[in-house]
Amino acid sequence: MIDRYARPKMKSIWEDENKFNTWLKVELAVCEAWVEEGSIPKEALPELKKATFNMELWEQAFSRTRHDVTAFLESVSASIGPESRFIHLGLTSSDVWDTSTGLQLRESCDLILEGINNLEKILVKQATKYKHTLMVGRTHGIHAEPTTFGFKLALWVEELRRGKQRLLEAKEMISVGKFSGAVGTHATLPPLVEKTACDLLNLIPEPIASQIIPRDRHAQFTTTLALIAASLEKFATEIRSLQKTEVMEVEEPFGEGQTGSSAMPHKRNPELSERVCGLARIVRGNAIASIENISLWHERDISHSSAERIIFPDTCMALDYMLYIFSDVMENLKVNENNMYQNMESTRGLLFSQRVLLRLIEKGLSRTDAYKIVQDAATESWKDRSDFRELIRNNIKVKSLIDNEDFNSIFDYEYYTRHIDNSFNQIGLG
């Protein structure tokens, strides 16, 4: 991931230096497990724990070996004496690589969960603040009935919580280790050593593996991140739609001295939300690559490796960044409540059509007759830009059934704010 979209903490997890030091941590856990099993002398362990990784030595070795792990082992071995022969005992490269990757993914999960929790708090605060802030609901892009801005945000809260639950499940799924040798049969390393080493790393042993940890686990993780990214894209798309000039119900934060266009000084664009939408496409594409990595030749091939070097760090860094910038958008969002009201009024009462329809049915009209009366009035309102409420009030048939007091109760915006408490209560917002 380019630095523009990589935050320092997440980036540090996936930097080569940290990757190789994680490999060393894994190797030493196996050494400790071998000591407990009795195959490595106990007195060798203090010396083994002095081992360090040197990037310069690794680069020199890699230029010759063209193999990450053998170059890594040469670098580490150079830091200690004869005890280095015990490092990588009975292991294959994927034992180290896959187990270390699980540790990196788990750590990345924790950072992403922090981002989700922060965004959730912001959304809860804003949903509560704007719980009764009326605005028009839109279906197919057309005015439907009134809703509230807080209700819209409450829906996002619950969707984000589902994403968090999926991520917790995915975190558990990838928090596994594998120390079972070249094709997973434990021929060179007994299950007890694997169990002990995994316990030291706070991982669960893969119950059965080939040379690698099966990639359906990683696909679940990556697709989970893609689902969370898709939710963020949904939220950001709504912000973009509501910031259009002809709508202007909300606005992203726009800093002092910020510019929106090199050519048009008046521009104030929803560029942060647009960035979220663009990066969601990257995360989604990476999920496809992760799914395709499930199918490999026989006990393993290396076709998944090249893709994973890109998709794991980039997916984690992209989502971490998306959560960060969208949290800023929602924390500092400008909500134009007056524009929300004016936009509701722009269709001159048409959004009360269902209320009128239902009241006429209550008064005894058939649904067909009631629907025709309301639709005819709505059609005239659309055509002549006349007020739908007045057309209904002046309809002879309607006047015979509905009195003025009843009309006032039908054409009452506040009616719609009295019916959202149940949904808020169901998701714990009160």
User: CA torsion angle for 9, 14, 17, 20 (degrees, to 10)?
Assistant: 130
Helix, strand or coil for residue 200?
Answer: helix
CA separation, residue 103 to residues 33, 49, 204, 320 (Å): 18, 19, 11, 17
β-strand pairing of 142-148 with 134-139: antiparallel
Helix, strand or coil for residue 389?
Answer: helix
User: CA torsion angle for 379, 383, 385, 388 (degrees, to 10)?
Assistant: -10
Give me the active site residues, please.
140, 261
| pLDDT tens-digit map of 137-184 | 999 999 999 999 999 999 999 999 999 999 999 999 999 999 999 999
Residue 246: what pLDDT?
A: 95
Residue 418: what pLDDT?
A: 86
Contact 119, 142 (CB under 8 A): no
Domains belonging to the chain, first-starting first, are 22-86 (1.10.275.10), 94-252+271-341 (1.20.200.10), 350-410 (1.10.40.30)
Residue 1: what pLDDT?
A: 67
Contact 118, 329 (CB under 8 A): no
Please provide residue 179's backbone torsions phi and psi, each rounded to the nearest 5 degrees.
Answer: -135, 75
Residue 293: what pLDDT?
A: 94
CA separation, residue 425 to residues 126, 135, 235 (Å): 16, 21, 22
CA–CA separation, 333 vs 289, rounded Å? 35
Both tokens of 380, joined, read: 């005239």
Spans in the chain with pLDDT lower than 50: none
| HEC secondary structure over 66-84 | CCHHHHHHHHHHCCCCHHH
Residue 206 Ramachandran class (φ > 0 left, ψ -120 to 50 alpha, else beta): beta
Could you list the beta-strand ranges (E) of 84-150: 134-139, 142-148
Contact 101, 308 (CB under 8 A): yes
Residue 75: what pLDDT?
A: 95
Which residues on adjacent β-strands are paired with residue 147? 135
Query: Which residue is associated with the tokens 């799924």?
Result: 173
Question: What's the sign of the alpha-carbon dihedral 40, 42, 48, 49?
Answer: positive
Contact 349, 389 (CB under 8 A): yes
